[in-house]
Amino acid sequence: MLNFLDNPVHFGIAVVVGLLAAATLIVFALTKAKPNQDFKELTNRIKSWWVMIAIFSIALLSSPIVSVIFFGLISFLALKEYVSVIPLRKADRRVLFWAYLTIPIQYILVATNQYGLFIVFIPVWVFFLLPFRLILTKQTEGFLKSVSAISWGLMVTVFAVSHTAMLMMFPATGGNAAGGSGLILFLVILNQGNDVAQYVWGKMLGKHKIVPDVSPNKTWEGFLGGVGTTMVMAVLFHSFLTPFSIPFALFVGAMLAVTGFIGDVTFSAMKRDLQIKDAGALIPGHGGILDRIDSLSLSAPLFFHTVRFFYY
Amino acid sequence: MKHKFHNILRWAFYGVIVRPILLIILGFNARHMERLKPRGAHLIAANHNSHLDAMVLMSLFKLSDLPKVKVVAAKDYFCRTPLMTWFSVNVIGVIPIDRGGETENPIQPMMDALDQDCTVIIFPEGSRGDPEQQSPLKYGITKVLEAKPDIQITPVYMYGLGKALPRGEALLVPFVCEINIGEPVNWEGDRTKLIETLQNTFDALKSEMEVKPWQ
């Protein structure tokens, strides 16, 4: 058991499981203390967290290829949810098929560590080819709407999410024995932890609304509490999962909290525009996969390039 | 013995092939699943958009219930060759109906299935029509109920399959499908009223979902 925890990634996951176990006990105590209140949503959320952490841990620990396939699957499910909720034209149906095909290509580039092509495939090649394929539908009415909606969707669900998988390719160094999987775990813990922390702080202290027109439940108290908590998490986890120094860990913690918030609000704006509450119903208590990874998808490329610039 | 063999084939077909593919490639967002329980002789009336409709509805049932669930489908399509007939009837679970009007009593196979306590899935619109555009309901369903007035009907409304695989398209494009299951409807002896009730239920089920039609 002790040998098992010597691996920093195993240790990180053990800490997360410990935290979730504590949260589960608190929620269980709450349901016993206040039997008249309805905690169904909260218990559903906790249950879903257990499932998500189990799947994520298996994906992260088994082998790099499995991790890459796992993130490819997330991209697929997210893109599917996205194209199912946005307004598109009948003529776009076949174009969407090509949009889906970018997923295997992008993740093959990740798995083979072709950074040069990985970074330009969607922003350069698909950006050029997608409007061309749309022209072939011979329907100009609504052309701009379709090309923008599909391009943005590919950027957030495929290009951005694939950056999380690409972290895997950062090798272990003297200062960071955990290598790429340590960085993935660090990013996911801070990003998802920030979501939870902003929610919990907002529920406990939230008074002053921060963006009432876009997301009426978000408050300054929740946001600032999230930034503080995420910075603390960054300091706690940086030493064994990343090569970061303490000041850099604090900076990355603050950055992930702020960009996570912006990502979250960006998707809230999209959902408001579409007049839907959730993008899907795949994860009980959370909504769809897009609702779970909204903040991650926009943070991941920023985290990736910050780490790449300063450490690799 | 032969029966058992067919059941095993059907479990394998749905459990190993159809269900995993549909769940990953399409994914369902199903509401009120608890209303869809097998209860002996029973009708499921669903709207029709795609070839996938039948497979999706069959996939909603537990594997152990599958031998008692059948789906009504066009004989001219599903029984083009002897091999297809065998596969459709024994593995997919199709009740082939002759819509050409050559058979004297086209609904007899449905009656037989109901006599064997089967849950029978039917598409009251008849053909698939334009994708996601519901066609008027036909009166065929009422003929069954006139002969078997105690049978209840559970309406099911589906959305998204007509976007994923519409008529005349061979290319499947993944979309999340919405499925909404209604409360059972009873036959009250009036054809027009039943069709009206079913139509109203479909409309109500549709309004509960967030559908995104083509622009």
pLDDT band at A56 (very low <50, low <70, confident <90, very high): very high
Q: Taking Cα atoms as reference points, which of B147, B189, B190, B200 lies closest to residue B41?
A: B147
Of B29, B163, B215, Cβ closest to residue A280: B29
- Tell me the count of A-B CB pairs closer than 8 A: 44
Q: Does the reported pTM lie above 0.90?
A: yes
pLDDT of residue B129: 65
The hierarchical CATH code for the domain B2-209 is: 3.40.1130.10
CA distance B211 to chain A (A): 8
Check whether A129 has a pLDDT greater than 80. Answer: yes
Average pLDDT value for residue range B50-58 = 89
Q: Which residue has the tokens 């900076």?
A: A251
8 Å CB contact between A223 and A261 = yes
Largest CA distance in chain B: 53
3-state SS of chain A: helix, strand, coil percent to 5?
80, 0, 20
- Residues 6 or more apart whose CB falls under 8 angstroms from that of A36 comprise none
Please name the amino acid found at residue A133: R
Q: Give me the interface pTM, i.e. the ipTM.
A: 0.87
* Edge-to-edge order in the sheet of strand B119-122: B28-31, B177-181, B153-159, B42-46, B119-122, B69-74, B94-97
pLDDT of residue B77: 84
Q: B154: which 2 tokens?
A: 């559970």
pLDDT of residue A86: 93
State chain A's mean pLDDT as an integer. Answer: 93
> How many angstroms separate the CA atoms of A146 and B124, rounded?
35
Provide the CB-side half-sphere exposure for A114 (13 A, CA). Answer: 11
pLDDT of residue B101: 67
Check whether A173 has a pLDDT greater than 90. Answer: no
Model pLDDT for residues A174-184, shown as the tens digit of each residue: 777 788 999 99
Query: Domain extents for chain B?
Result: 2-209
pLDDT band at B128 (very low <50, low <70, confident <90, very high): low
Coil, strand, or helix at residue A274?
helix
Check whether B1 has a pLDDT greater than 70. Answer: no
Average pLDDT value for residue range B70-85 = 90
User: If interface means Cβ-Cβ distance under 8 Å, which residues of chain A face chain B?
Assistant: 76-77, 80-81, 83-90, 93-94, 96-97, 100, 142, 145, 274-276, 280-282
Greatest mean pLDDT among A44-58, A162-176, B49-63, B90-104 lies in A44-58
Q: Do A80 and B175 touch (CB under 8 A)?
A: yes
Model pLDDT for residues B184-200, shown as the tens digit of each residue: 999 888 888 999 999 99
> How many angstroms separate the CA atoms of A306 and B91, rounded?
55
State chain B's mean pLDDT as an integer. Answer: 87
Burial of B11 by CB count in 10 Å (0-12 exposed, 13-18 middle, 19+ buried)?
middle
pLDDT of residue A7: 86
Model pLDDT for residues B198-213, shown as the tens digit of each residue: 999 999 999 988 777 8
Q: Do A90 and B214 touch (CB under 8 A)?
A: yes
Q: Do A281 and B210 touch (CB under 8 A)?
A: no
**Partners of residue B214 in chain A, C-beta under 8 Å:** 88-90
Continuous segment of H or E residues that includes residue B73: strand B69-74
Q: Do B173 and A84 touch (CB under 8 A)?
A: no
Of B163, B173, B212, Cβ closest to residue A86: B212
pLDDT band at B102 (very low <50, low <70, confident <90, very high): low
Of B29, B160, B174, Cβ closest to residue A100: B174
pLDDT band at A244 (very low <50, low <70, confident <90, very high): very high
Q: Which residue of B has its CA nearest to A97?
A: B173
pLDDT band at A1 (very low <50, low <70, confident <90, very high): low
